[in-house]
Amino acid sequence: MAATTLPPPPPPTMHHHSHSHHQHQHPTSRSTSVSSASTTAPNDHTDSSPSPTSSESPCSRRTPSLTPTAHQPSELDLLEPKLEYLSDDELDSKNHSYPSLDTIGENGSGSTTNGGSTSGAVTIKRGRGRPRKHPLPMQGGTKVTKGRSKTGCITCRRRKKKCDETRPECMNCVKNSVVCEGYPEKTIWQSGKQKSEGTAETALQIRKSVMSRVTELPCLIDGVETADDRYLLDHFVHRVSKILTVFNDDTNPFQEYLMPLAVQHRGLMHSLLCLSGSHIVSTKPEYTSAQLHHYGLALTHLSQDSSLSPSSSSPSSSPQELTSSTSIDKSVAQMLLLCLNSICLGESSGEYRLHLNAARALFSTNSLLPTTNFHRFLYEFFMFHEVINCLTTLDRRPLTLSLNPPPGILPTPGAMLGVLDGLFTYIARISILRDGIRERRKRGVPPVDYQTLSEAVQIDADLHAWQPPLTYGPSTARFLAALLYRQVTWIYLYRTILDSRPSPKISSAVNEGLKYLSLLPPDEGTESVLLTPTFLLGVSAFEPEQRPRIRERLERIGRYSGLGNVGLVGRVVERVWELMDSGSEESWDWEGVVVGLGWDFLAT
């Protein structure tokens, strides 16, 4: 049987089915399948129906089939092309598009241009499946900004409701009958650095604003306002008060009487702090300004109190209180403290006189009778300096009150020595005799007349009869100090009545005084009252071997007390010794020596 040669099959044609079932199929396929499908026959071919011998299948109904026109289909002809879907990424990455089935002509070919590209617009349908949660951005497109802001009204934000941001009131709040609280103020965006800088500046402004409104707490004690003031107060309590009287314990009258009074009186507190500053400036000059500050305020308040003006240092004080005895007590206490201030500074121009004269005027009018313990202390302290002042001046004589103590003064131990026990009465009487003798010496007449001699003999008898109060105690330093004061009082009487020349009697009396002085223990409270007896022993020491012990004692007193007048006393004593060694009769008048040096100070 001869083989029959069949003609080659015509090119397959893509049958376009107009059924709606085919329109729902995905138009895309793999590139190879589409390429073969898009290769069409010439434009004059016609659609051919499927061969009756070919059986219909679901695939043949859904997918255009490739059928031969004049021969039996081969296995290749019966193969159905496999269609695969492209992903969105692959579609976007393609620079060309493919025609859909809708654009294919009835002859199975799409309209093309000479270049082979489609002439109409290409419609790309989205594939099936769940859309992307975050769609890819369109290339070449611009992002559309949202009109809604990132916040709502305050009410909706608090209620955690969606706000339609209608102004001035949110419609969501209006519908729900809720008061719309409006919208927060718009703020300009700032970076982290700007926010930190702005926060720091805001905090600084707030701090300055708060500090401008902060008021300082009032001072607990008037006059004690700074760290220097507190230091000076502490120095007075623990040091100064213990070198001014024979008491260096808790019974010190400066702590027992003056401190409580100074807490209530600003002027007295300034005087107290001024005294403390004067005592410390020799070793710590940095407190000079504080000392001058308190000195000026002390004088101001003392002037106001002394004039009894309504504008006292205490705002709550009334005129009746100013004229009361309490106000006078405070004024006298200020005057005495300012006298001590001159002693501490070692002033030699009579700065103490203003204050001592003012206190003297008050005491001379009997305004301050020693009826209480505090008044007794003021009286004793004033009389001690008043009488001792006669030893270094020519124009100040003892107050009559020192010759005739007021009633109520009994021989009792006090803060000082010689006042309340009656011994200073003899010193005042001797000073009056000394003034008369000095006047006679100037006139060239015998210095000692019968009346002067008779008074001196009486004083001598009284001194022999005087004994320290039993309350002192025979074995105490206070008892020895009282015997020393009696000894130098007798030496003072001898140097006043007799000529200024060496003698065994005066030499023996000075040795006895030095013996008492050596028996007193160092650093005791009695050290504060030993300057006056040491001065009288010095101006009576005719023997050169007696002088070194006096120099040593003066140095020890200076180290213990730190008072500035100790150096002045030492220089006067040295000058008197020079006159003694030269045999000059001027050694008798040591008050004149002080005046000749141009000095005026207290040897207390």
Which of 156-160, 191-195, 332-336 bottoms out in mean pLDDT, i.e. has the lowest?
A: 191-195
Which of 43-57, 136-150, 565-579 bottoms out in mean pLDDT, i.e. has the lowest?
A: 43-57
pLDDT winner (highest mean) among 134-148, 173-187, 345-359: 345-359
Residue closest to 346 by CA, chosen among 582, 109, 599: 599
- pLDDT at position 75, please? 53
To 10 degrees, the CA torsion angle through 375, 380, 383, 384?
A: -150
CA 295 to chain centre: 26
Q: What does the pLDDT average to over 122-151?
A: 64
Contact between 124 and 91 under an 8 Å Cβ cutoff? The reply is: yes
Which of 207-211, 509-513, 560-564 bottoms out in mean pLDDT, i.e. has the lowest?
A: 207-211
Contact between 41 and 13 under an 8 Å Cβ cutoff? The reply is: yes
Q: Which residue has the higher pLDDT, 250 or 309?
A: 250
pLDDT winner (highest mean) among 301-310, 368-377, 543-552: 543-552
Which of 203-212, 347-356, 408-417, 542-551 bottoms out in mean pLDDT, i.e. has the lowest?
A: 408-417
Which ranges of 94-170 would DSSP assign to H, the alpha helix?
154-159
Q: Does residue 168 have a cis bond before it (omega within 30 degrees)?
A: yes
Tell me the domain boundaries of the chain.
Answer: 9-42+56-123, 244-596
pLDDT winner (highest mean) among 4-18, 193-207, 304-318, 420-434: 420-434
The Cα–Cα gap between 485 and 463 comes to 11
Which ranges of 346-476 would DSSP assign to H, the alpha helix?
353-364, 373-388, 400-403, 423-443, 450-465
The Cα–Cα gap between 490 and 426 comes to 9
Q: How confident is the model at residue 107 (pLDDT cuts 50, 70, 90)?
A: very low
Q: Which residue has the higher pLDDT, 545 or 97?
A: 545
Q: What does the pLDDT average to over 434-439?
A: 93
Residue closest to 414 by CA, chosen among 437, 461, 381: 381
- pLDDT at position 148, please? 55
Other residues' Cβ atoms within 10 Å of the Cβ of residue 243: 17
Q: What does the pLDDT average to over 312-336?
A: 63
Q: What six digits make up the tokens of 568? A: 């002045």
- pLDDT at position 316, please? 44
Give me the chain's average pLDDT, please: 77
- Where does residue 464 fall: left (phi above 0), alpha (psi -120 to 50 degrees), or beta otherwise? alpha
Q: What does the pLDDT average to over 79-87?
A: 56
Angle in degrees, CA 219, 223, 224, rounded to 5: 60
- pLDDT at position 55, please? 42
Contact between 546 and 573 under an 8 Å Cβ cutoff? The reply is: no
Residue closest to 53 by CA, chosen among 77, 86, 19: 77
Please determine, for residue 465, whether its predicted confidence score (pLDDT) is greater than 90.
yes
Please determine, for residue 537, whether its predicted confidence score (pLDDT) is greater than 70.
yes
Residue closest to 529 by CA, chosen among 132, 211, 191, 244: 244
Contact between 276 and 214 under an 8 Å Cβ cutoff? The reply is: no
- pLDDT at position 123, please? 62
Please determine, for residue 46, whether its predicted confidence score (pLDDT) is greater than 90.
no
Residue closest to 368 by CA, chosen among 358, 357, 379: 379
Burial profile 54-68: b = 16 or more Cβ within 10 angstroms, e = fewer? eeeeeebeebbbbbb
- pLDDT at position 41, please? 40
Other residues' Cβ atoms within 10 Å of the Cβ of residue 500: 20
pLDDT winner (highest mean) among 153-167, 223-237, 463-477: 223-237
- Is the pTM higher than 0.75? The answer reads no
Please determine, for residue 89, whether its predicted confidence score (pLDDT) is greater than 90.
no
Within a 13 Å sphere around the CA of 508, how many CA atoms are in the beta-carbon half?
Answer: 3
Which of 40-49, 138-147, 348-357 bottoms out in mean pLDDT, i.e. has the lowest?
A: 40-49
Other residues' Cβ atoms within 10 Å of the Cβ of residue 304: 19
Contact between 484 and 417 under an 8 Å Cβ cutoff? The reply is: no
Tell me the percentage of the chain whose pLDDT exceeds 90: 41
- pLDDT at position 542, please? 96
Which of 210-214, 508-512, 527-531 bottoms out in mean pLDDT, i.e. has the lowest?
A: 210-214
Long-range contacts, stretch 376-379, CB < 8 angstroms, 24+ apart: 376/409, 376/414, 376/420, 377/253, 377/257, 377/414, 377/415, 378/329, 378/332, 378/333, 378/336, 379/406, 379/409, 379/419
One-letter amino acid for residue 299 of the chain: L
Mapping DSSP to helix (H, G, I), strand (E, B) and coil, where does residue 440 land? helix
- pLDDT at position 291, please? 95
Q: How many residues does the chain have?
A: 604
